[in-house]
Amino acid sequence: MPFSVQVPIIFEGAEPDPAKHSKLELGLQILDKYLEDQAWAAGDHLTIADFTLVASVSSIEVGITNTLML
């Protein structure tokens, strides 16, 4: 999902799509809610899933910041 939101804007000069941004925002809100009651994404200890989420979420944050600067 993040790539379908960011890539057209950054690399193709497309205008931001509010519908895609809303879906991305909803997904991040669900992730936040899920992680409120637990420290890790998959189980009770650090796993590869947590590293994957860190990479994805931080890429989303950078992409959104760069998009706002365009």
Q: What is the pLDDT along the chain (70 residues), one digit of tens a residue?
A: 566 777 777 788 888 788 888 888 898 999 999 999 999 999 999 999 999 999 888 877 766 665 555 5
Write the CATH number for 49: 1.20.1050.10
- Alpha-carbon distance 38 to 66, whole Å? 31
Range of the domain at 6: 2-69
**Domain tally, the chain:** 1
**SS3 of residue 56 by DSSP:** helix
Half-sphere exposure of 19 (CA within 13 A, CB side): 0
| Termini Cα distance of the chain | 21
Q: Which residue type is seen at 11?
A: F
Contacts by 33-37, CB closer than 8 A, 24 or more apart:
none
pTM for the model: 0.71
